[in-house]
């Protein structure tokens, strides 16, 4: 899969392997149950026929690709490389009891969670139930997240759920129960896929394209290892990483025109809107119910359909939202294009444990 991504990237970008002196890749096969290939960077080097100065296989779960971007930028600033290619591809294990058990073993605490029958939807349901109880988020708001994601997916030619057509709140609430409060359509859609992007200095990027996407600021925060160790189910570490990114960029939440927020389940964008400062505490659900995140809304969210309707690619799950954020500020988003100068992209790994926020802009600052 990664070699297919590389061939597609070289063909469509016009950038040859000789232009690359840095490489970051993910350990392919982990989410699919084949084991983590920690030497994947060596295999990609050989596939490309390159011998870079800066090269790593890194994994931070769903946060891997925004972290790749920030590691690449840091390496370039330090003089370790001039052009860093970031590559990711992956898939989920097969749907069913075996696949669910594989993912539960990977992400659950071996002593305090897994032995008691934990599985991923149930663990996320803890956060959803707590948020609903403490902040008054109605069940219909979670359904509105799925409905809005589908609206955006209908505008993306590659969205997995585009052929299924539009959704209604009633359809989400009537879909099969999974783990209260989640129904089937509150859950992301497992699939396989991948993408690649190139990071370089602005002056070099402008030689390749008239409109690059500029990295304006970034931040990270690494919280609990397992959700049973979380201090508060209603809030996680996104606020810390977002504040760091805003401070670096000299921006505020009110400057953001568009947001791409990790949405493994329908509760996630609600939590992340509030934590990143894009919505007031307790108002994230109403943000969706009022249509603010939808096409023609005041702050479009997950404009490609998100993991809920575009597809959730396991090892490469955070790549799609970073690519979409870049495409939006580059003016390359086609039918879903929004007038966006500033895009916030927030991803996380594990059970909402490893948080990474990046701010992308149409112009350098």
pLDDT at position 143 over 50? yes
What is the pLDDT at residue 276? 97
- Average pLDDT over every residue of 134-159: 98
pLDDT at position 30 over 80? no
- Average pLDDT over every residue of 327-353: 95
Q: How far does the chain reach from its first CA to its final CA, in angstroms?
A: 36
pLDDT at position 334 over 90? yes
Q: Which residue has the tokens 């392997």?
A: 17
**pLDDT, tens digit (0-9, with 9 covering 90-100), for 198-245:** 999 999 999 888 899 999 999 999 987 666 666 665 567 899 999 999
Question: Is residue 1 very low, low, confident or very high in pLDDT (cuts 50, 70, 90)?
Answer: confident
pLDDT at position 184 over 90? yes
**pLDDT, tens digit (0-9, with 9 covering 90-100), for 49-62:** 778 899 999 989 89
> In terms of C-beta density within 10 A (0-12 exposed, 13-18 middle, 19 or more buried), how is residue 77 classed?
exposed
- Average pLDDT over every residue of 106-119: 74
Q: How many helices (H) and strands (E) does the chain have?
A: 13, 10
Domains with residue ranges and CATH for the chain: 2-93+190-361 (3.40.47.10)
What is the pLDDT at residue 32? 47
What is the pLDDT at residue 223? 83
- Average pLDDT over every residue of 318-333: 96
Residue 131 tokens, joined? 């948020």
Q: Residue 91 belongs to what H/E stretch?
A: strand 83-91
Residue 127: count other Cβ atoms within 10 Å of its Cβ: 22
């Amino acid at each position: 899969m990664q070699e297919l991504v590389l061939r597609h990237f070289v063909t469509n970008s016009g950038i040859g392997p000789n232009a690359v002196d840095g490489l970051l890749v993910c350990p392919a096969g982990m989410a699919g149950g084949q084991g983590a290939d920690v030497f994947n960077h060596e295999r990609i080097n050989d596939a490309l026929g390159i011998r870079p100065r800066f090269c790593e296989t890194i994994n931070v779960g769903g946060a891997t690709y925004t972290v790749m971007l920030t590691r690449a930028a840091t390496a370039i600033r330090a003089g370790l490389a001039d052009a860093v290619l970031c590559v990711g591809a992956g898939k989920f294990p097969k749907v069913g009891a075996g696949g669910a058990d594989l993912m539960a073993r990977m992400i659950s605490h071996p002593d305090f969670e897994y032995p008691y029958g934990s599985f991923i939807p149930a663990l996320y349901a803890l956060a959803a139930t707590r948020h609903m109880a403490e902040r008054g988020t109605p069940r219909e708001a979670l359904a509105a997240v799925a409905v809005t994601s589908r609206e955006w997916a209908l505008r993306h030619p590659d969205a997995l759920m585009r052929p299924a057509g539009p959704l209604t709140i009633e359809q989400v609430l009537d879909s099969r129960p999974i783990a209260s409060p989640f129904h089937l359509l509150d859950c992301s859609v497992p699939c396989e896929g991948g993408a690649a992007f190139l990071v370089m200095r602005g002056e070099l990027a402008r030689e390749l394209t008239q409109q690059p996407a500029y990295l304006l600021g970034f931040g990270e925060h690494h919280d609990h290892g397992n959700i049973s160790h979380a201090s508060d189910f209603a809030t996680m570490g996104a606020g810390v990483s977002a504040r760091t990114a805003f401070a670096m960029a000299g921006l505020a939440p009110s400057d953001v025109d568009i947001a791409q927020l990790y949405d493994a389940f329908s509760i996630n964008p609600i939590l992340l809107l509030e934590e990143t400062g894009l919505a007031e505490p307790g108002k994230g659900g109403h943000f969706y119910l009022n249509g603010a995140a939808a096409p023609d809304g005041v702050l479009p969210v997950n404009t490609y359909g998100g993991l809920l309707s575009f597809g959730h690619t396991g090892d490469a799950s955070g790549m799609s939202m970073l690519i979409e954020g870049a495409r939006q500020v580059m003016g390359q988003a086609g039918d879903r294009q929004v007038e966006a100068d500033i895009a916030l992209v927030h991803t996380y790994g594990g059970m909402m444990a490893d948080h990474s926020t990046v701010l992308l802009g149409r112009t350098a600052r």
